[in-house]
Structure 1
C-alpha cells in the first residue's frame, strides 16, 4: 500500500455538482440518446447502498432505461459473497427482461461490476465503472483506507455481514481478486470513468488496460450525480443497447442463446442453408422497472 497525502477535502463540492445536475437540461433528457428499455443494474460504492444512486436511477428511467437495484443496503460485505448474490440478481433481471443487462458500478461497485461481468459475460451488455481503482484497490485517500481496514477488523472479530481481513489479503476472496486483476472478456464493452479531481481514488489506478478510459471533471462522489458523468453514461449505454440487439436474447430460464446470423449468399434453400435470427423482446415495455 502506497501512502498518499489526504485529498478527501476535494469532495466538498460534490453536493454542488448534484445541484448543478438537476438544474441542467441533461437532467430532463435533453441532448442524450433515448433508451430502449434495456435493464441497467446499479451497484453502489463502499459503505453506502442503493439509495446513493437514486438520482441516477431516476434519470435512467426518465430517458428510457430500466434501472434495477442491486439489493445492497450497505456495501461492506465479503466480495465473494456479494458477487454470488449479485449473480442471482443479474440472472433474475436478464430472465425478466429477456435481455442482456448493462452494469454501472460506482467506486467499489465498479470492482464488483467487472468481476460480475467476468463471470457472466453472456448476460452482460456492457460495464461502466465510475471512479474504480482497478490497478490497486488501496490507491485511495488514507482516511478512506483507514475506514476500510477498520471495517475489515470488525468483520474479522465476527460482526455479521461485514468483510474480514482475510477477504482483503487472505484466501477467502482469492478467486474474486484474480477476476479483478484479469482483463475483462473482450466481448463485453468496458468503460472506466476517472477524474483527476477525484478526492478519494488516485485517478491513475482507474486505468485498467482492458477498459476504455474516459476522463471527466468531477469529484469522486459527484460521479454518481454530475452532468459530466451522466453525459458519458447516456452515450455509452446507448452504444451498449445497439450492440446487445445484435448479439443474443435471453430466454425465460435466464440462459443465453447466441445469435446465429449467417450469410447465405450463393446458397440455395434447397441445399439446406438457413439463417436464424434472435430478436430482442420485452424492450420498451419493460422501461419502468426498479
Structure 2
C-alpha cells in the first residue's frame, strides 16, 4: 500500500485565527518544568546532516533471519517514512517483510489517522498471515503502543525508539513545536488513552544517554510501563538509521 495523505490533511491550511491559536500553544507556560536533554546534546543532533555522506561507506554485517517477521515502521514527529528507508532496507536484507505505516508525515494523532492505522494493521496482518512487529521512532512509538493496546491479537511485539511515554510529557525539547504543529497540548491528545499504560504484548523501549530531544527517563520508562529497556548508543535522530539501532532491532526480531 503506497503512502497517502493523512486523513483531513487538506485542513492543514490554517486561517489567521488558527495560526494565532497554535502560536499561543507553542508559547504556553510550562506548568511543571521537567529535566530535558542539554542544549549541547540538542546541538549534537545536527550530525544528521553528515549521515547521507557517510552512509555509502558504511557496511553492516547482517545475517539472514531464522524466523522472518512482518514489521511496520512508524516515523517520528514531523518526519516522513522515507527517513526510515535505510533501516527498512537493512531489515529486508535479513529476510524480514517491512511495511510503511501509509500516512506520510507524522503530524500528530487524530481520531481519523488512528482509525486508518487500525485498518492498516489489520490489512498487513491478514495479508502476510502473521502478527506484526510495530517499530515506532519517537512519536511513532506512541502510535505503536496505542495500536497494540487496541489490537493485541494482531501485534507480535512493540519496539519504541526514543519515545516519550513515561513521566512528564514535556520532558523533551520538542513539546512546543509539537503543540504548534499538532494543534493541541501535549498532555491533551484528541484520542483517549494513557501513554504510560503498557500494551498487553511484549514491549521493548530503546533509549539513549545521547538523546538530544527526549529525556532518557521518559523513553526508558519504569517497570510496569514496558517489559524491557535497551540502551542504544546513538542520538535521537540516529534511532532511525544508526548501525547500533538497526542491529538492536534485528536482535529483538529474532527474540519472538
Per the normalisation by structure 2, the TM-score is 0.78
Cα offset, 1:18, TM superposition:
6.3
Instruction: Go from structure 1 to structure 2 and tell me whether the alpha carbon gap of 1:13 and 1:171 turns closer, same or farther (over 3 Å shift).
Output: closer
2:176 maps to 1:146: yes
The answer for the alignment partner of 2:45 in structure 1 is 11
Deviation above 6 Å: which 4+ runs of structure 1? none
The structure whose Rg is larger is: 1
Rounded Cα–Cα distance in structure 2 between residues aligned with 1:170 and 1:31: 41
Cα offset, 1:82, TM superposition:
2.6
Counterpart secondary structure, 2:255: helix
Instruction: Go from structure 1 to structure 2 and tell me whether the alpha carbon gap of 1:224 and 1:170 turns closer, same or farther (over 3 Å shift).
Output: closer
Counterpart secondary structure, 1:56: helix
> How many pairs are equivalent?
218
Rounded Cα–Cα distance in structure 2 between residues aligned with 1:90 and 1:83: 10
Q: What are the equivalent positions in structure 2 for 1:124-163 lying under 5 Å apart?
A: 124-135=155-166, 136-141=168-173, 144-151=174-181, 163=182
User: Bigger relative contact order, structure 1 or 2, given CA contacts below 8 A and separation 6+?
Assistant: 1
2:203 maps to 1:193: no
Rounded Cα–Cα distance in structure 1 between residues aligned with 2:52 and 2:203: 25
Counterpart secondary structure, 2:120: helix
The answer for the alignment partner of 2:101 in structure 1 is 70
Instruction: Go from structure 1 to structure 2 and tell me whether the alpha carbon gap of 1:85 and 1:200 turns closer, same or farther (over 3 Å shift).
Output: same
| Cα deviation 1:102-139 (Å, max 9, x = unaligned) | 01000000011111111111101111111111113321
Contact 2:77 2:108 in 1 (8 A): no
Unaligned runs of 5+ in 1: 152-162, 241-290
Cα offset, 1:49, TM superposition:
1.6
Q: What are the equivalent positions in structure 2 for 1:163-174 lying under 5 Å apart?
A: 163-165=182-184, 168-170=186-188, 172-173=190-191
Cα offset, 1:169, TM superposition:
4.4
Unaligned runs of 5+ in 2: 1-31
Q: RMSD in angstroms over aligned alpha carbons? A: 2.1
Rounded Cα–Cα distance in structure 2 between residues aligned with 1:81 and 1:8: 32
Correspondent of 2:88 among 57, 60, 68: 57
Correspondent of 2:227 among 211, 229, 232: 211
Cα offset, 1:219, TM superposition:
0.8
The answer for the alignment partner of 1:90 in structure 2 is 121
